[in-house]
Amino acid sequence: MPRLGLATLNHSPLHGLPTQWEAHLDAASLAGYDAIAPDIFWLRAIEAAGVSPEQLAAAMSDRSLACMEIAGIAIGEEEATQAELSEHLRYAEVLGAEFVNARIVSSLDASVTARVRECAEAFGRVGTRLAIEFSRGTQLNSVSQGAALLREIDVPGAGVTLDTWHFFLHPQGAEWDALEALPSSSFANVQLSDGVPYEEGAFGEATMNLRRLPGEGGFELARCLELVTTKRGDASALPIVVEVLSEAERQYSLAEFARRTANASRMLFPD
């Protein structure tokens, strides 16, 4: 059975919701999650309400929850990237984050590539891996582009995040050959959800509100997870952030949402 981390993003202040941070931790713990995967909007809101990262870390420890991933840093223009790097480094170090997820928000030229390298090296110094996410909504939109960027920066520990929603709904189709060719050292983690094709022009709405529970869409999740499990050697070494971004699922309580997502994810690993 892989390690599961509950993404906070579906019930985040990004959607105008209160942080409910203790309820989030309780829900993850009761549903049997190994970790939490906080989003930066959630973390900022908690700290603005007077809860320090140290207090959050202690509360997570009390519930035996690790920090699997912080989502995440936007890497682009120099000044904005430096501000986000400083912020994310502080959270990553205090929470003991396994990964910080990264999105590339400016065209990938030599200066942006250098900033990605700088971020990867800085997170490495606090024991955190940079996990680069590809998405149609950013300047890096495929497994192959992620692999090429990793070769360019050449920083041990940095890897590609496999977001199943972006992988299967890539406009040119899933890049199975590129995923199979991705070295195990260049693979970071999985962000898990299911889904169905969306209408052209509806990417923003679909990616934030129309994802589905694992097993309730049309993705070949079993094939995908078998492939990346092989890269990790065994299922127990596979870090999976369960990231079901769904307006329909947002209507459930945190406890019920955590239970539903955990149970659906475990069904993919019957053994």
Could you tell me the two tokens for 22? 């203790």
* Cis peptide preceding 218, ω within 30 of 0: no
pTM here is 0.96
Residue 87 pLDDT > 70, yes or no? yes
Residue 32 lies in a domain: yes
Instruction: Decide if 228 is inside a domain.
Output: yes
Q: Residue 271: what pLDDT?
A: 67
**Amino acid of residue 60:** M
Q: Poorest-confidence range of 40-44, 188-192, 198-202, 253-257?
A: 198-202
pLDDT at 182 over 80: yes
Q: Which structural domain range is residue 245 located in? A: 3-266
What is the spatial distance between Cα 193 and Cα 179, in angstroms, rounded to a whole number?
A: 17
Residue with the bigger pLDDT between 257 and 232: it is 257
Per the domain annotation, does 147 fall within a domain?
yes
> CATH code at 159?
3.20.20.150
Average pLDDT, the chain: 96
First to last CA, the chain: 8
The pLDDT of 248-259, averaged and rounded, is 97
User: What is the average per-residue pLDDT within 5-27?
Assistant: 96
Total structural domains within the chain? 1
Residue at 254 is within a domain: yes
Q: Could you tell me which residues are beta bridge partners of residue 187? A: 160
Contact status, residue 104 vs residue 73, Cβ threshold 8 Å: no
Residue 202 included in any domain: yes
Q: Report if residue 21 sits inside a domain.
A: yes
Per-residue pLDDT, 235? 79
Kindly tell me if the per-residue pLDDT of 270 is higher than 80: no
CB neighbours of 113 closer than 8 A, spacing ≥ 6?
A: 149, 152, 153
DSSP state for residue 265 in the 8-state scheme: H
Residue 53 maps to a domain: yes
- Can you give the pLDDT at residue 232? 82
Task: Please say if the pLDDT value at position 98 is more than 90.
Answer: yes
Q: Are 20 and 256 in contact, with CB atoms under 8 Å apart?
A: no
Domain assignment present for residue 271? The answer is no
- Count of alpha carbons within 13 angstroms of residue 220, beta-carbon side: 11
Sign of the C-alpha dihedral, residues 75, 81, 84, 86?
A: positive
Rounded Cα gap, residues 170 and 201, in angstroms: 13
Q: Is-contact 186 220, C-beta < 8 A?
A: no
